[in-house]
A = this chain, B = another copy of it.
Amino acid sequence: MPMYKANSPEAKAALEALEARRGESLEKALRVADEMIAGVRKGGDGFVAEQIARFDKVSIAPGAIRIAPRDVTIDGDLAEAIDTAIARVESFHREQLPQPYVWNNGTSSVVHRVRPLQRVGIYAPGGRAVYISTLIMCAVPARIAGVTDLVVATTPAAADRDELHYVCRKLGIREIYRAGGAVGIAALALGTESLARVDKIVGPGNQYVTAAKMRLIGQIGIDMTAGPTELIVIADDDADASLVAADLVAQAEHGPDSAVICLTTSAAIGRQMPERVITMLVESIDEAVAIADRLAPEHLSIHAKYPEAIAQRVENCAAIYCGPSSPGAAGDYIIGPNHVLPTAGSARFFSPLGVYDFVKRSNVVSLSAEDLAEIGPKAELLAVFEGLPNHARSIAARREQAPGAEPEKELSPKGEQS
């Protein structure tokens, strides 16, 4: 792919094409998701077993789709790598647990309660490989939040791997549901004969998985919607072209729809980028920052003299890697931060998966009679203004029954509720 000046019509067209691709409709995937959701609702495990036979060419009895993790022994080096990844991810996420608080104004109090979700489903994509790293990135923050009831859904092939069982055992995941794609998502959300429905589903997947999550939001919680993976590199004259290229080639490895973009002030570096990379020559780091902010990429890798200063100026990106010893690919596995990240420009509003995604909050109100006497009439005024007189009456009724309260009829618009 040629190198463009960032302000050229060709560069503009390339950026617009990229943005247009992101906005592409999931219409077909949504139709498939609807079919899977309706099927699971009606046919439960039996329907899921049919889909497994159809897509995965594996025959599993409906009652055997859900299995418990086996006690396994895996390669020692791999086990050590997994253990290190879990320990570092845990260490990084520990500070993310949202805190409850009590709001108190002297007489009244409101408890802002933070509790773990009860049951969470993790989707671990299982294509050619088994993504145990995704399982770690999802399960560790869930455990820190206090979620005890965790289930993973993945393809039968991935569910067969000892390494997956090893991670499940390590992280207290007691159920594996051997169904991938939209049907796996539907089973997690709706429940089947063998699988209790979950409260929230997290983890990335292909467009069918994303479509099913979009369809089911409200019946369950979801973490975010996911598109193909993305990396922008910002490189100044100080950058090492071979390292920049290595980052971009790694990202491209996820598939032909991964977006890999190099924004550089150096034509010499630009010329050394592989064919597959969209390379743009920028006049300044400011111009590169503006393009990165507009695209809001999943990953940003900064190869420059003062990388942290550039990172500071980028608003829209959830995972930023600074300097020569911070390879993004290590962040996918072991550094500590989460690799479940917003794609397709959604870093404008989504965040990396974190402990905060695994809690629910409640406000528990204990209002005092004194406080009610003071704010009640004002609330009544607002209720009447909004056309809800019975709301006002319900407040007035409380005021009038409060110990020691004098009826303040003039503030109660229509008298009390009998």
Instruction: Output the least CB separation between A324 and chain B (Å).
Output: 7
Among the listed stretches A138-146, A175-183, A355-363, which one makes contact with chain B, having 4 or more residues with CB under 8 Å of it?
Answer: A355-363
Residue-wise interface mask of A (232-250) relative to B, using a CB-CB cutoff of 8 A (1 in contact, 0 not): 0000000010110111011
Task: Give A369 to B324 CA distance when docked, in angstroms.
Answer: 8
Beyond A361-B354, A402-B324, A417-B245, whether A82 also contacts B382 by CB under 8 A is yes
A204 at the A/B interface (Cβ < 8 Å)? no
Q: From residue 315 to 341 of chain A, which have CB atoms closer than 8 A to chain B?
A: 315-338
CB <8 Å contact, A311 and B364: yes
- Does A351 belong to the interface (CB within 8 Å)? yes
A281 at the binding interface (Cβ < 8 Å):
no
Asked if A242 meets B133 with Cβ closer than 8 Å, knowing A356-B98, A383-B333, the reply is no
**Residue of chain B at shortest CB distance from A343:** B218
Mask of A340-376 contacts with B, CB within 8 angstroms, 1/0: 0000101111111010100111111111110110011
Within 8 A of B (CB), among A285-326: 307-308, 311, 315-326
CB of A96 within 8 Å of the partner chain: yes
Q: Does B366 lie within 8 Å of A326, measured CB to CB?
A: yes
Closest to A136 in B: B382
How far does the Cβ of A354 sit from chain B's closest Cβ, in whole Å? 7
State how many residues of chain A have any CB contact under 8 Å with chain B: 128
B residues less than 8 Å from A363 (CB atoms): 318-320, 337-338, 352
Please name all residues of chain B whose beta carbon is closer than 8 Å to the beta carbon of A360 when the two chains form the complex: 316, 318, 347-351
Q: Quick one: closest B residue to A249, CB to CB? A: B390
Copies of this protein, total: 2
What are the residues of chain B within 8 A of A103 when measuring CB–CB?
A: 91-92, 95, 336
Among A247, A365, A371, residue most surrounded by chain B Cβ atoms (within 10 Å): A365
Residues in A lying within 8 Å of B, measured CB to CB: 23, 77-78, 80-82, 84-85, 88, 91-92, 95-96, 98, 101, 103, 105, 108, 110, 112, 115, 117-118, 128-133, 163, 199-200, 210, 214-215, 217-221, 224-225, 227, 240, 242-243, 245-247, 249-250, 252-254, 307-308, 311, 315-338, 344, 346-352, 354, 356, 359-369, 371-372, 375-376, 378-379, 381-383, 385-395, 397-398, 401-402, 417-418
Using A112-B337, A250-B391, A253-B388 as known contacts, list a sample of 16 further A-B pairs with CB atoms less than 8 Å apart, ordered by residue number in A.
A88-B375, A98-B356, A110-B335, A199-B348, A246-B398, A308-B366, A319-B363, A319-B365, A322-B365, A325-B369, A326-B367, A329-B379, A330-B376, A335-B365, A350-B360, A351-B359
